[in-house]
């Protein structure tokens, strides 16, 4: 008992110290940190999705590019040419390999495009940022491809076809071809 209580019977006993804050395990701390990171990533994804919507609206609002009637008339009947817009693009080809992407087969994201899709020959196309992922492009003599990838060298007026064979991609070279945005 306190000496003060012995000398002063009306004195109150001292307050106990506050309890220690709850302790969490390393696993709980890691989970809290992972949850915080996931929330940040979710917010970033929402911001990017909003940006994509805005970019799609901006692209639709832009005036349609000039029609390349020479090439369009060669490939389409006159009736269709009036309602479609053809542009000339520099078209090249790339692969998932190191020389095209800087990735090796051991990399976790080898063969994965900027849109998150796996690259597929006959479908995947790397496009400039002005064309949103999912945009369909009909390329003269090639057919329809879907914009699923980006690339450091892919600027306006340039399209890059995905191919599985490096030798075929190299032999494709650089070609100026007409293309139309179909969707």
Q: Which domain holds residue 139?
A: 69-181
pLDDT digits (tens, 9 = 90+) for 4-46: 555 666 667 778 888 777 788 888 888 888 888 888 888 788 7
Instruction: Tell me the two tokens of residue 4.
Output: 């003060």
What's the domain count of the chain?
A: 2
CB of 2 closer than 8 Å to CB of 16: no
Q: Give the number of residues written for the chain.
A: 183
Sequence-separated (6 or more) residues with CB below 8 Å from residue 118: 111, 112
Per-residue pLDDT of 54-76, as tens digits, reads 777 666 666 444 444 444 444 44
Q: Are residues 102 and 139 in the same domain?
A: yes
Q: Do the beta carbons of residue 178 and residue 85 sit within 8 Å?
A: no
Partners of 179 in the β-ladder: 87, 139
Tell me what the mean pLDDT of segment 140-164 comes to: 91
Do residue 164 and residue 92 come from a single domain?
A: yes
Residues 131, 105 share a domain: yes
Q: Looking at residues 67-95, what average pLDDT do you find?
A: 61
Domain annotation covers residue 130 = yes
Average pLDDT over residues 79-84: 45
175 within a domain of the structure (yes/no): yes
Measure the CA–CA gap between 131 and 87, rounded to whole angstroms.
13
């Amino acid at each position: 008992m306190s000496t003060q209580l012995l000398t002063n019977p009306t004195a109150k006993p001292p307050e106990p110290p506050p309890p220690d804050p709850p302790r969490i395990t390393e696993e709980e701390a890691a989970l809290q940190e992972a949850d915080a990171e996931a929330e940040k990533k979710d917010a970033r994804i929402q911001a990017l999705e909003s940006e994509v919507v805005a970019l799609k609206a901006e692209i639709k609002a832009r005036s349609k590019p000039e029609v390349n009637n020479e090439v369009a008339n060669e490939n389409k009947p006159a009736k269709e040419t009036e309602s479609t817009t053809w542009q000339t693009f520099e078209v090249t080809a790339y692969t998932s390999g190191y020389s095209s992407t800087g990735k090796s087969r051991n990399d976790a994201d080898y063969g994965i495009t900027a849109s998150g899709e796996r690259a597929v020959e006959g479908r995947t196309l790397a496009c400039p940022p002005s064309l949103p992922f999912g945009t369909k492009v009909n390329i003269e003599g090639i057919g329809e491809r879907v914009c699923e990838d980006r690339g450091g060298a892919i600027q306006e007026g340039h399209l890059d076809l995905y191919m599985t064979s490096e030798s075929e991609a190299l032999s494709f070279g650089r070609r100026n071809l007409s293309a139309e945005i179909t969707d």
